[in-house]
Amino acid sequence: MKKTVAFTSMLLIVSAVLFGCGSQPADKAAPQPPQESKPAGGADVSEEMKSVTDSYRAYALEQIDQFVQATESFTDAVKNGDLEKAQALYAPTRMFYERIEPIAEALGDLDPDIDARENDVPDEEWRGFHRIEKGLWIDKTTKGYETYADQLINDAKLLRGKVETVEVTPQMLVTGAVELLNEVSSSKVTGEEERYSHTDLYDFAANVEGAEKIYELLKPAIEKKDSGLSQEIEKRFAEVDKLLASCKKGEGYVLYTELGEEQIKKLSQAIDNLAEPLSNMGIVLEG
Amino acid sequence: MTDESRNKAGTSDFLTQPISRRNMLKLAGIGGIGALVGASGMGGVLALTQASGSGSMNKAGAAGGIVPFYGEHQAGILTEVQNHVYFASFDITAEKRPEVIDLFRDWTAAAANMTQGRDVAEKLANEYVPPADTGEAAGLLPSNLTITFGVGPSFFLKDGVDRFGLGAKRPQALSELPVFPLDDLQPEWCGGDVCVQVCADDPQVAFHALRNLTRRARGIAAVRWTQAGFQRTHQADPKKATPRNLFGFKDGTGNPDVNDPKLMNQYVWVQPQDGPAWLAGGTYLVVRRIQMRIEVWDRTTLRDQEDTFGRHRDSGAPLGGQDEFEPLDLNRKDKNGQLVIPATAHARIAHGDGQVKLLRRSFSYADGIEPKTGALNAGHLFICFQRDPARQFIPIQQNLAKNDKLNEYIVHRGSGIFACFPGVKQGSYLGEALFS
């Protein structure tokens, strides 16, 4: 879960599409549609964007399906009292969610139910992954967390149903990619997201993968407008990927607490270096 | 050199360029002539305001408070010291020379724009991308903004690696400073591949410039350390007396006259015969972040304070003297046979034999408190320019570190040395002679 401001703005954009008329995604969703949009060739662009958003929608659905499956295994382990297995499944399960986090967050109250951190919500409302995380790593038990496990798998399934209804717009993708990296900057690179399990790098990697997916889909359109920009974005993704690869451990990643100060700074700066050019992907939305 | 003085801000270059709306608004604001200004260039506006006879036109901000960016030397060196500084040291994170050249090209254009009161880059029509300029200086006067760039020893050679194939061009004089006695340097306040000194009469204008340069450098260079500093403002001191440091003493009294080109060539500018060629017309910048033991100083008697500096606090005159600018009489003794200016006084040690001078351009800083002790974290951002550090800053500082009574009240925490490029000609870019 992230800061409320960004969350709200994303929510506004998406809900406008969700509950408005869905047939003209591009302009309807923009807070202030530019006056000069759609010159000659505009139809062409929107055709291209249509295929981009369709592809992304398919990707999001694929991720959410895997998320539900993985959450099922994770919550089963909690309910079966298998602490070790639950701990092992925790971080990889979350990655499916983190890859499409802006979409999940846009779906209103489900995000806090699934992903709120301690003190994000009143204690009596606190549930979801991080509640169970605290049990698994601080209390070192699954006992007493069965109810949270049941709630979590139900919420995951509810989310699955809602994602189906999301209208994906090009603006949403452009903003969403940067939001994914903002997620990394604001909570993962500081070790705040996974404060008990210290598995922040899993979320970090998943957020970056989610942003990279969006870039890959928009790449042909970006190249037409500014091939220098796409080259720079790719270079910066490569730098982040290289740093992340150096943090690999087996199938997963080292714990946040194993990172040195210098490593954290490098990771943080690599994300800023990437997010800066990535924030210019909006050139594809120009008429 | 007077060509950098802000009174001459209206160069022909500035007069002939098309006037931006933003500049127009600024000028309109100053002279209250908004309604009169037509669509002509800046020359017309100046003519109008000058004709109006408004006294405000003679002030720094009158011509927009603009210091020319292009010229024989970089601005921000001989320029009359502005009220605020943001000093930043960058590490180059890119590995290839073309990327570094791209950065300096981009920074040149960005600095030329911002110092002249324009946005860092042209506005974008597209609302789906972030604005090119971060916006916090919109509508503000240029405020005599100057941006001065230099490269440090590690730019040429880092951990034994000649990263950009420029190792052979590193001047001998651009070597890491020696460790001086009593130095307590902290790595996070030291060194850097590139320095950027941003000065302006407004802190927000200064911050805006540094922020935008930092943003544009992402992926090529990252900030290593930065220090904001201030002097008394010109509003607070319309007579422009020598500014005081946080110990309450005047600082900069002995500076060579920046309006004397001969002196500047002698003490500040690297001469063609000094080598290397790419640095002729440039200068060496030494920066020291000097923490002041404020609490200790504040409980020191006036007599001790004045003996420490060798000057009277109120007037700035040498001890026993009347006038700030009278020469130091270093041999004078009192009736007990004691030196009037004590042997360990700062003014005496810094003066040396009087033959070695450098151009100081320092600021104060105040950064909250020391978390451990609760003491005020404040001090002196010492910045100086010189033709040859080995003959200027280094021997002076060796002497000060060994003998200066002021050392009881200060500690050097940060340090850096940089070679500041010569000025940029329009169409060229910062450091072109180094890279080509």
pLDDT in tens, A119-161: 999 999 999 999 999 999 999 999 999 999 999 999 999 999 9
Name every chain B residue with its beta carbon within 8 A of the beta carbon of A235: 219
What number is the average pLDDT over the span B104-131? 95
Q: Is residue B222 within 8 angstroms of chain A, CB to CB?
A: yes
β-strand pairing of B410-420 with B146-151? antiparallel
| Matching residue, tokens 């139900």 | A154
What number is the average pLDDT over the span B150-154? 98
Distance from CA of B129 to the nearest CA of A (A): 5
Three-state DSSP class for residue B177: coil
pLDDT of residue A11: 39
Supply the pTM of this predicted model.
0.82
Distance from CA of B63 to the nearest CA of A (A): 35
Beta bridge partners of residue B89, listed in sequence order:
B195, B225
Confidence of residue B9 (pLDDT cuts 50, 70, 90): very low
Q: CA Rg, chain A, in Å? A: 19
Distance from CA of A209 to the nearest CA of B (A): 19
pLDDT of residue B252: 82
Q: For residue A165, which of A107, A97, A100 has the smallest C-alpha distance?
A: A107
* Measured distance CA(A142)–CA(A131) in Å, rounded: 11
Cβ distance B174 to B133 under 8 Å?
A: no
| φ, ψ dihedrals at A70, nearest 5° | -65, -35
Q: Is residue A35 within 8 angstroms of chain B, CB to CB?
A: no
Under DSSP, the state recorded for B337 is: S
Q: Is residue B93 within 8 angstroms of chain A, CB to CB?
A: yes
Secondary structure percentages of chain B, helix, strand, coil, to 5: 30, 20, 50
CA distances from B421 to B75, B220, B270 (A): 11, 19, 10
Distance from CA of B125 to the nearest CA of A (A): 9
Confidence of residue B64 (pLDDT cuts 50, 70, 90): low
What chain B residue is nearest to A238 in terms of C-alpha separation? B219
What chain A residue is nearest to B124 in terms of C-alpha separation? A283
What number is the average pLDDT over the span B61-76? 83
Q: For residue B408, which of B318, B307, B277 has the smallest C-alpha distance?
A: B307
Q: Is residue A285 within 8 angstroms of chain B, CB to CB?
A: yes
Q: How many residues does chain B have?
A: 436
* Measured distance CA(A153)–CA(A276) in Å, rounded: 36
Name every chain B residue with its beta carbon within 8 A of the beta carbon of A171: 128
* Measured distance CA(A124)–CA(A138) in Å, rounded: 19
pLDDT of residue A109: 77
Cβ distance A70 to A96 under 8 Å?
A: yes
Beta bridge partners of residue B416, listed in sequence order:
B287
Least confident stretch, A153-157, B26-30, B136-140, B382-386: B26-30
CA atoms within 13 Å, Cβ hemisphere of B429: 14
Using one digit for the tens of pLDDT, what is the confidence trace for B87-102? 999 999 999 999 999 9
Torsion of CA A99, A103, A105, A108, to 10 degrees: -150
* Measured distance CA(B345)–CA(A227) in Å, rounded: 63
**Mean pLDDT for chain B?**
87
CA A99 to chain centre: 4
Helix (H) / strand (E) containing B413? strand B410-420
* Measured distance CA(B380)–CA(B36) in Å, rounded: 46
Q: Strands of chain A (E only): list them.
A: 248-249, 252-253
pLDDT of residue A287: 59
CA distances from B13 to B18, B24, B43, B67 (A): 10, 16, 10, 12
CA distances from A52 to A170, A173, B230 (A): 8, 9, 52
pLDDT of residue B240: 87
Residue of B215, B218, B223, B225 to mutate, interface with A, max A Cβ within 10 Å: B218
Cβ neighbours of A8 (radius 10 Å):
11
Under DSSP, the state recorded for A137 is: I
> Which one of B126, B218, B222 has the shortest CB-CB distance to A282?
B126
Query: What are the structure tokens assigned to B279, written together?
Result: 């640095």
Q: For residue B180, which of B77, B306, B310, B286 has the smallest C-alpha distance?
A: B286
CA atoms within 13 Å, Cβ hemisphere of A267: 28
What type of residue sits at position B96?
Answer: K
- CB pair distance less than 8 Å for A269 and B93: yes
Taking 90 as the threshold, does the pLDDT of residue B157 lie above it?
A: yes
Taking 70 as the threshold, does the pLDDT of residue B409 lie above it?
A: yes
pLDDT of residue A46: 80
* Measured distance CA(B55)–CA(B375) in Å, rounded: 45
Q: Which residue has the higher pLDDT, B217 or B235?
A: B217
What number is the average pLDDT over the span B103-108? 98
Looking at chain B, the whole-number percentage of residues with pLDDT higher than 90 is 80
Cβ distance B349 to B403 under 8 Å?
A: yes
- CB pair distance less than 8 Å for B126 and A279: no
Beta bridge partners of residue A9, listed in sequence order:
none
* Measured distance CA(B353)–CA(B366) in Å, rounded: 33
Regarding an ipTM greater than 0.90, the answer is no
* Measured distance CA(B424)–CA(B283) in Å, rounded: 14
Name every chain A residue with its beta carbon within 8 A of the beta carbon of B93: 269, 273
Residues of chain A with pLDDT under 50: 1-45
Under DSSP, the state recorded for B4 is: G
